[in-house]
Structure 1
């Protein structure tokens, strides 16, 4: 009886803690809503399953407790029960997968007015590239990476000459402007993750992955690597600073273009 009561209290306490604890997320970016809704749906499904399983365990502990003169009933299989459990599990998994597919579609369907920003991961730091006055990024090639060209930009592409290169410094973004984030790695697997933005994506050498979001609150947010990438993985951190349009333009005016950076490095 005591064990059954403890199990019931665990189930009830978990639900109460969920509702009363101040753990709810803060809206920081445009994609927080539909991602959080998907997590809440997942919590409802897994929470119901948790309460049902613990409640069933408590009932079994109480109902089938040892009593003098009672012998156990041996039942090696129950096809009806197995069928019900299989159907219930399949429905629960499908209910969790369906919202995820909908969210993924939104996550990679980029608005036409989004500004492209490239994020490059390497052991163990972040670098960034922003479009210049022409509004588009130039091409790149890993074979062009060198001491004077750390991101491997194509020096023969006119579109890349005015690209703004942020090497191992903070990324700044303007508030309320949609951003398409292009992600690539120049060595091993990385994963760019800003927890407050609800956005993360693997960075695969030889491929360019992407997602988009719109920052909706100013502030400084930590960027982490969410993929084990070597001995320096815990130190692979950066900052994403969301600013007003005026502050962003003031910061942007003080940054180097690819052409300026290449000239400075070559002159050393």
Structure 2
């Protein structure tokens, strides 16, 4: 009797938890309400079966409970019962599968007037591409990917020259108009998922997949990778911003084409040297850094990273809080630079030879090396940095600077701004270092590594 009551209580508790639970679907923001309907049908079918089976189980436990004057009766077959079970199971499975087939037929049939953009996945970042006035995306190849051409667009394909490149992980689309998203991966298996749109699809290396939806609500929605794609999978996040038509056109007008990106100057070293004279007062005439002024070493760093950080300082993505006084100083200095200045000085600093590392090998403690293993996925085994993962060089950097930056990430003094794409990831990754000793160990280990 007690077991039967417990089974009935579990059934009742499950039903109450389901209908009263605060954890439910996010508000729908696209045309795919039919996907919600198919899930609801699945809940009802499986829910009815769950209740029926467990109520019958409780009844059987009570009705056929042990009694010393009764014997069990074994019945090897019951064709009538088996027939009803087969029929009921068939109807239940059909009720769950048939609606999904109709929804899938619509899901793979893209409206002819749908606008197009490409979402590109890589460890652990999203970028996007739009066709230009010709309405056609240019050919791409992973073999063509480099610092100048991160999308791997074929420069010999005229259709790709007017392609609009979005290097940020934030993509804008107009509201109330169907959108087709072409999906491409640079490296491993990823998955494009926006819960509010009820869409998700895998990005398979070597294959171009797609999905489509019509956004029905203006707002900013988080894009996630829902396929385990490596160490920092959980940091691979982006945003889809649904704009009014006017706001979308204003945003689109600010973006650059592939042709414009290829025409960007590489940077004038002579002019960069002149600009750097002011920087050298803190960072050293050869970019060697200055511990007394809390200025990090710059020599040996990549130009693409220097350019990005100077842009962040100038636009107050970094250095906008009183908790980061050195960042505030850099923000003030960067505000005096033009785009051309940043291009030139970044190229000049990148041309400086990295100074020999004077750190003692004894500082490379075993714990620091072990903890750095997770960091090495992006920053390289020797802290040399990786352009493909947008990760700067860290080897030979001053421990004090590294410790300060890691703590700033942990406390969200740095990396909290929504435009700091990689800083957002570092906020999450830095918290793997769970105490101050771990931070110090990693900083000491990195300082002991040879210059890149």
TM over 0.5: yes
Instruction: Give the structure 2 partner of residue 223 of structure 1.
Output: 223
Q: Is the 8 A contact 1:148 1:265 kept in 2?
A: no
CA spacing shift, 1:134–1:266, aligned 2, 3 Å:
farther
Counterpart Cα distance in 1 of 2:206 and 2:172: 26
Unmatched tracts of structure 1, length 5 or more: none
By how many angstroms is 1:19 displaced?
3.4
Distance in 2 separating the partners of 1:137 and 1:129: 8
The 3-state SS of whatever aligns with 1:100 is helix
2-side partners of 1:87 and 1:144: how far apart? Answer: 57
Change (3 A) 1:7 1:36: same
Task: Compute the displacement of 1:178 (Å).
Answer: 0.9
1:21-74 residue CA offsets vs partner (Å, 9 max, x unmatched): 45355220112x111111111111111111111111111111111223223333
SS at match of 1:53: helix
Q: Find the counterpart in structure 1 of residue 7 from structure 2.
A: 7
Q: Which runs of 5+ in 2 are unaligned?
A: 268-346, 348-452
Could you tell me which residue of structure 1 aligns to residue 84 of structure 2? Answer: 84
2:188 matches 1:211: no
Instruction: Report the Cα offset of residue 184 of structure 1.
Output: 1.2
Question: Using the alignment, how far apart are the partners of 1:142 and 1:242 within structure 2?
Answer: 30
TM score, norm. by length of structure 1: 0.92
Please give the alpha-carbon distance, in whole angstroms, between the structure 2 residues aligned to 1:67 and 1:264. Answer: 89
Q: Give the equivalent residue in structure 2 for 1:260.
A: 260
2-side partners of 1:89 and 1:168: how far apart?
49
Structure 1 residue 7: Cα displacement: 2.0
Q: How does 1:22-61 map onto structure 2 within 5 Å?
A: 22=22, 23=24, 25-31=26-32, 33-61=33-61
Deviates more, 1:44-53 or 1:86-95: 86-95
The answer for the alignment partner of 1:65 in structure 2 is 65
CA contact (8 A) 2:26 2:195 kept: no
TM-score by length of 2: 0.56
Q: Distance in 2 between matches of 1:65 and 1:219?
A: 59
Task: Measure the CA separation in 1 of the matches of 2:266 and 2:208.
Answer: 28
Q: Distance in 1 between matches of 2:41 and 2:230?
A: 35
Report what 1:176 is aligned to.
176
Q: Secondary structure at the match of 2:264?
A: helix
The equivalent of 1:129 in structure 2 is: 129
Q: How many residues align?
A: 267
Q: Report 1:130-149 matches (<5 A).
A: 130-149=130-149
How big is the shift at 1:238? 0.8
Of stretches 84-93 and 173-182 in structure 1, the one that deviates more from structure 2 is 84-93
Question: What RMSD in Å do the two structures reach over aligned CA positions?
Answer: 1.9
* TM-aligned CA deviation for residue 247 of structure 1: 1.2
**CA deviation after TM superposition for structure 1 residue 232, in Å:** 1.4
1:154 maps onto 2:139 in alignment: no
How far does residue 256 in structure 1 lie from its aligned partner after superposition?
1.6
The offset of 1:226, in angstroms, is 0.9
Greater RCO structure (CA 8 Å; 6+ sep): 1
- Label 1:95 to 1:265 Cα distance change in 2 as closer, same or farther (>3 A): farther
Report the equivalent of 2:113. 113
C-alpha distance in 2 between matches for 1:225 and 1:163 = 24
- How many Å separate the matches in 2 of 1:202 and 1:24? 21
The answer as to 2:163 corresponding to 1:166 is no
Larger Rg: 2
Alpha-carbon offset, residue 75 of structure 1: 4.1
* Alpha-carbon offset, residue 20 of structure 1: 3.8
Q: How much has 1:227 moved relative to structure 2?
A: 0.9
Structure that is richer in strand per residue: 1
Instruction: Answer yes or no: is the 8 Å Cα contact 2:140–2:152 preserved in 1.
Output: yes
Q: Look up the SS of the partner of 2:256 in the other structure.
A: coil
- Matched residues in 2 for 1:77 and 1:232: separation? 55
